[in-house]
Structure 1
């Protein structure tokens, strides 16, 4: 059976926190849902109450107009003009018309929604209006008035872009008509009277007749067919389109919550629509708070769990990964722990262990390299090393026999130089031999550079002549000075080599030049190459000398770099004095 891995500490902590948080999360969700249902009902009830109030207001206004219209039907002047105008004198007829016109003005002023009032009297073939006395009423208009009054109830109809309340007298279809009474309602005044219904919200209202032949609205573009169709579709889709109801609808690509009420008296329907963002704004805020709380809860769980993870689990994982790297042979690893706790101590001990392992391996590795290099030199030395020296010696005797002193001197130096290089034997020589070999090297360079470079040597302290040092520790430093500092100088080059004993047990050899191209960054790079072991083309020889000195003297010797008083680089070789037949220095040059 396959082994099932049990959850780690971090996973268990997360699960525990989720068990605590989830019931609270569900409780908040139930509260928000319940609040939403209650809020929805309250908003619907509030809107229905307002719609009912304004719908009754419209019915009341229309009823007021209808009553005034009925009262004016029995006006004495209207009756005289419509029945016995033929027996009236011109003066009496004109006076009756003027009085009736003023009464129509009073009729208009007594209503908040009437725009104009007109009475057409067939007996005198004239239409009397407010301060007007015009031509007869057309047959189409009379037919419209008869058609809308078939049930003798006040109806608002749309005729030639006008909203009309009309009647005629007598209402009996078989009798002769005495007059036609036409009242024009003002759409602007109707809209204005309904504006307060949406004053608190950025909402819309629609007032229309049940037949959907006309519609008034405070919404811009309400005369377009698209909103009208949306409103009609909403009403047709309601459960009780003939009375009242509420629901959701979409107007101009925005969601609205709508409520409506129909009036059988005025044959109108009033619909109010408020954007969902305002109707359910409070509910949306609750929802946002819920999601914020949910997010914060999740963040809290993971932050706290992560905190535990950082304190315990992660340091252990770091230690395990580090041990695996060491197991795979990676010793260039260093663990850091910022907090002052037990893990800082464990990490510190681990770093000390890895560093010690790395040092031991490095020493073994370098010892192997030096052994291989020694073997290679031994193989190379099997080629007769004296052939080159003998050839140069023959050249030296020929130059002497021909009286060429400069060539004689040059070949003498060159022969001694190659004799030193091809000499076999121990890897250590006396410091005096190393010192003399370096002098021969500078003499050869003096012949090469003539008067361009001046070389100044000091005396080597006699007490250090016999000490044993690794071969070739001075010449690579001189070669580096010539190549990178003095070679390009046309004149006034300076190379100074001085040796000084300190406390009688430590020797410092200073090699200085007056090169002009040493920048501070170059000097820092040289120091870094010694401390970190970084090697590049320009520092290979010097770093090798430094490492060989440290290996030979147990890290108590080596090189150091600083800026020379001459302006160039100053390299200092530190060599402790060792007792005869001993491999441990008697003094530390640090």
Structure 2
């Protein structure tokens, strides 16, 4: 029968496996729900940050578009035109024109909170007119600020670490501009608005220009994080248009990085938040789930072991008692303290053992009586057969008036029957061989010394071995009757012994003409469990040694070296036999 998987496992691992089959899906479901919750929270937070970034960029675009619109309108301002083209203005006209222009510059400055100052650089005068001052154009500003920019994509100029919006007029490359309208952007205002917008703990934001020399940052961000972020933005300029966010690790800390670029201003807004801020509580929950899983596994093992002890100990005691019973120990009754199903099992087992002892006692007595009766029957089958042969021989030699032979036969026959009529059914091996020699002497008279019998010496330690009576003489009788009786030439019978540590083998062999068919027939008769009508002598011997020695008593038939029958009787040395 094919062994199923798990049949060899003890109950303890089976209990653990059963509990784990129930609990593991729950743990897996909990972890799965935690992962889904983490993804949901991450999605909600990232969407919120992205919406705020879009709002911030939109606000910047609206404010800067408004002030750039005013710049464009001021190109046609009369006062700017007068101041940049006429040199014949009186002091009063000049002063009034400057005053009116400053008023309009203040209006443009106040149009957006990010503007620090609004001014006009007039090349004819080499002067800068701002909201509150009239001064020379600072050295280096003219060449830097007179460059025309693409006001639809990147209107800013980075100069001296500041952000400027300029509009030179005319804006052709081949002419020196008459004047340049300019706006100086206030980094502090951008930073304040950035702080108000982001308002992030464990994170910050960064507003950068395509020119790496300008940036504004908010939040209490370590310098190493800011520098890494700037480098990341420079190396991955296309990131903002391809992905929503990415993970950035700095100093062993993971950050979520969001980037939104304004295509109208050429500015990029970057927001970074610690991963622990977004999904930290969910990670803690996941860690708790794992710790709970480990604790549950330990509890399962302890609980399984407790159940294992509760069930296994009485089962082990029951199995141990069954094994004692298998070995024939009928004192296998058990004592069990407690109540429950096992108490009932133990009581039933004890009653079974007691009943089994009673039945064995009854069967043993019956078998003993049957064994004695069978031994008596087998012995009675041997005696009449030999008696018939003896009387036939006496009749023959008496008819021939061979008085000496009659005396010899009757004397040997008397000794023979005195031996077999002894009350005991088992004797010493030495006595059995002596009786077999007496039988052989009688047969020599019958066959007129045509058949010679040779007896080897009995091993000394086996002389007193108790054996069933009449197990060697019937083998000699079989050799005379079936092996040598019809032989033309001289016959020979040998009785030998082979011993080892555990067994003694008695060998009776002759030099008769044994065919393969006859040998097969003899082996077939010996294999039967009931006495056959033919060759009853051999079967009776086999049956007697089996009744006396049990399975260790063996009788085997084979062919001798001289071609006749060879019978081997194996007698054990480690069992006393007897009834």
Larger of the two Rg values belongs to structure: 2
Could you tell me the TM-score, scaled by structure 2's length?
0.49
